[in-house]
A and B are shown apart, each in its own frame.
Chain A
Amino acid sequence: MNLASARTSALRFVGALAVGLLLFGVFVAAIGKSPFEVYATIFEGGFASSFAWQNTLLRAAPLVLTGLAVAIPAQAGLMVIGAEGALVLGGLATAALAAHLPGPALVVQLLALVAGVTSGGVWLGLTGWLRARRGLNETICSLLLSYIAIAIFNHLVEGALRDPASLNKPSTVPINDALMIGNLPGADVHWGLAIGVVCAVLAQIVLSRTTWGFALRVTGGNTRVAKMAGLSVTALLVAACAAGGAAAGLAGGIEVMAVHGAANASLIAGYGYAGILVAFLARQQPLACVPVAVLLGGIAAAGSLLQRRLDLPDATTLVLQGTLFLCILAADSFPARRFGLRRKVPAESTVAAASTISSLAPEPAAAPVAVTPPRHDVARPVASPTLVQPAA
C-alpha cells in the first residue's frame, strides 16, 4: 500500500461512513425518531468524552486480534472463519495454566499467554494443514473445528477442569488477582489493546516487508504459481492459519487474564465471529484492523446509549452496523478516478502484482505444470485460482 492508495482508501472509508449514517438517519426518521438526536447520541455514547473513548477502546480491544485471525490467513488466500474456536481454546489453556502454575507473576502471565497462543495456533493450524494436504475447504473446515472447539471447551469447563465451588456457573479455578493483566497507565483500558495494536503492526510489517510475507501473498495470489516458484505452499498455508489462530488464542488468553479471571461460557461471546467483519472491512490488511475494531467498539458503545436514552431496541445497533458496513464494502467498487480521488493510476504494490500473476494463470487442470509437484502435495487437481488476493 503506497501513500496515494492509502489516502484513497481513507477518503472512501470516510465517505462511506457519511453515506451510511445518512441512510441510518432515514431509517430512524421512518420509525419516528429524530435523526439528529440519534446522531448526537451516537457521538456522545462512542466518542464525545474520555469516558466514551475508553468505553469504545475497551470494547475494541479483543476485536483487533480476532480481526488479525481472519486477515492473516486471508493474505494467503484462505477464508478462515473459525477464530471463535481458537479464542475459547486459547482462553481455556491460559486459565488452566495461570491458575495452577507457581512462580513470579510476570513469568506465569507470559507462560499462560504463550499457552493460549499455542493452543489457538495449533487449532487453526489444523485447518491450514487439512486445506493444504487433504483439500478440505478451509472456510467450512475452520467453522466446524470452531464448533468442536466450543464443545471441547464446554466439556472440560463442566468436567475435568471445573472448579467445584462454581455451582451454577461452571468455571475453571479462578486466577489469583495478582496475576491479572492491569490497565494501561491513566486509562480504564487493559493492556490487551496495546498488545493487539503491536500485533497488528508486526503482522503488517511481516506481510509487507519480509520475504516470507511476500511468499505468503504470492501463495494467496495463486497456489500453482507459488509452487512453480518453488515455495513450500503447505508450510505457508499452515503457518498463515497458525498465525491467525495464535492471534485468536492470544485474544482468548487476554480475555481470561484481563477480564474474566477464569474460563467459563461467558468467554464464548462472539468476538471470533466479529473478527470476520473486522477483517473484511479492513480489506484484510492487518494494520487497518485497528481503526475498524475501534469503529466497531464505538458502535457498540453508542448502541448501548441509544438503547438507554432513546428506548431503541438492540436491533437498531445491528441496523446501524449493517448499514455502515454495507456502505463501506460497496465503496470499494466505486471508480475512484471519477470522483477525483486518484489523479492517475498509482504504482500498485506487490500485492497487485501477485493478483496479476493469478489472472494470468492457466486454466485449471488443463496445462501440465513443468515441475510436477509431489502427489500428496496437491489436494485437488489444482488449487482454485478463484482465491484471488483482495486488492490492497
Chain B
Amino acid sequence: MTGLKIGLIWIGLMSLPLLALASTTDGTIDSTYKYAWSENIGWVNFGTAAGNVHITDSALTGYAWSENYGWINLNPSTSGVKNNGEGALSGQAWGENLGWINFSGVGIDYNGNFSGSASGTVSGRVSFDCANCQVKTDWRPACNNSVDDDSDGKIDYPNDPGCNSAGDGSEGSDVHSGGAGGSGGGFMPEVYPSFKAEPTITKLIAALPQALETILQFFKPELPPVKPSEISIKELIPKETPLTFRGKWQLLTYTLENLPFIKFTLAPLPKEFRALAQKFPTLKKTFEETGVARLIDVERLKPIKLTLPGLTESLRPYGPIGPEGQGVPVARLSPAIKKQLPSEIVFAKTGGQLIDFDIALSVTEKGKPQQKIATISGKSLQLAVKPDKPVKSVKGYVVFKSKASRPTSLELPLNSLLASLIFANPVFAHPQEKPVRVEEKLVLLEFEYTDPDADGIYTAEIQTPVIEGEYEIITVMDFEDLELGKKEIRLIVVVDPEGYLYEKDGDKETRIPGAIVSLFWLNPETKQYELWPAKEYQQENPQITDATGKYSFLVPEGSYYLKVEAPAYLIYDGKPFQVKEGSGIHINIELKTKYWWLKVVDWKIILLILFAFLLLYNFYRDKLRERQTIK
C-alpha cells in the first residue's frame, strides 16, 4: 500500500511539468550549421529558406531538404516531430521518397545544438553531429531562453528557483519536481535519454545492424537520384500570382538601369564601317540589302567575303574611263572623274598603274575593318590617296611587322595561286594625336607622295619588299589647316614570295636556272590564247630564270596558262586558270628531266654490268675449253 502511494506521488510529481507554462521561444535553423548527414541519402538541409523550419517548445514544423530525395515534412498530419520542451525530440517526419523518419534519437541541448541521430527505413541513420555535419538552432529551453516564462520576476537558471538546470524545460514551478526521463522533470539531466551512457557491448550490439547495413550498401548499386516531389513544392507556391508573373511588367526593357544594354543593341555601325559605306556606294547597297545596320551586325560580317572595287572600278559608275577589266593611270583621268574619287583611302596599283588591286574587306577579331590587296615581292607598287582638305605634305612609311601573315577572320578573295599584299586598318584616316607614331627602328622605307598635276590626288611609287612577310604602310597627311593637324592611314602589307621552277631529287628540290617561262592569256577579242603583252604592264614575258629559278607576273583579270621550256627538261604546259584583278602569278612548278634514265644508270652501274658480262664470258670460255679437252 505504501508502495502504491509512493508510486502515485511519483506519477503526480512527474506530471507537474505538464502544467507548467510553455516557453515563448520560437527558433529557426542557423544559416551556417544546417546540414545533417546520412550514409544512404547524403546531406539533409534543415535551413533552406523555402523549407521554413521552426522549433518551438512542443514541435518542429516546416520542411528539410534532401539533395537526392526532395522534401521531408517535419510536421505531417498523421505524426510530426515533437519537442518535450527540453530538447528531447520524438515522433516521425515524412518524406515522399523516404517514408517515415523517426526522430526519437535526436536531442537539442540548451545551447541549441542538435545531437544524436534519426532513423528511417530508406534514409538509414541521419546523423546530426558527425565530423562534418552540425545542425544548430536559436531555440532554447525555458530555463535558458532569457524570458521570464512563469512571470515570477526571475529569469532562467540559476536565477529562477523553478529551474534545476539550463536544460530545464520549465520555470513554472519553484518546487523541485524530481524524477528524470519524464516529460521535463526538474532533475532532468542535460544528457537526453537516448544519449545516456550505455554499456559498451550494448552500444556495439546496437551499432551492429548499422554497420552491416553500411557493408551491404557497399555492394549495392547506388540508387538513382529521385526527383523532388512536386506536391511538396506545390504547398510552397502561393496560389495568388506574384507581381513578377502577372505579365504586366517588361522584364527586359528600356529603363535607366539597362540603358547600356539598349545602347548596345541599337547602336549604329561603327564609324569606320559607315565611312566605308559612304565612300563605296556598292558596299552601302550591300549593307542595306543584307540588313547590316547596327553594331551587333558586325559579328555577321566576320565570316563573309567582301571585295571593295579598285581605283578604276570605284570610278567607273561616274563615266566612261577606259576598257573593261583594265586599270587607268590616275593622270589620265578627267578632272570631273577625279573629283569622285573616295577621299582618305589609299588605292594601290601596279603595272604602270594599269592593274588595280582588288581590295578584300575583312573584319578583325576586335570588330575593326581591315583591307587587303595582293602582290608579289620586289614588284613596283603605285599608291594614290586623295586628302579631304589641302595638305602641306603626304608622307609614307613602310614598316616591317612580322615574317608570317597574321590570320584574319576573312580569307583573301584569291585562289591558291595568288600572292597577297595586305592593307589593314587602312581606310580610315585617324587624327594623329601624337607625333608620327611610326616605329622608327622598324622603318624600312620612307617616301613622299607627290601631286605634280595639282589635281588633289597624291601618288607615290615604291618597290614591295623582297622578303616575304607582313608589313605596314603608314600614310601621314599633314594638313595646311593647323586645327586639322595630321592624319594617318595605317595599312598592313603581307608580301608573298615569287614562284620558282624546281626539279625534285628525293626530298630535296633543285632550282632550275635558264628556263624560259612564258605566260599566255586568252585574248577576249580573238578567243585564242596568246603571249601576254607584258610590256604594256612594265614587265617581261617570257622571263628567263636566274640561279634562284624564280619568276612572277602581276596580271589583270583574265584566263591564263603557263609554259616552261628548259634545256634537258620536258616542256611544261600548264592548265588554264582564272586570275582576278590585280593579282600575281607565282606557282611553284616542278619540271621533269628528259634524260631521267641517266639518273638510274650512272657510270658505276655501267661498270658493274660490264664486269658481269666479262665474268659470264669467262665462264662460257671455260665451258668450251672443258668440252674440247673431253673430246
A and B physically associate: no
**B-side interface residues toward A, CB under 8 Å?**
none
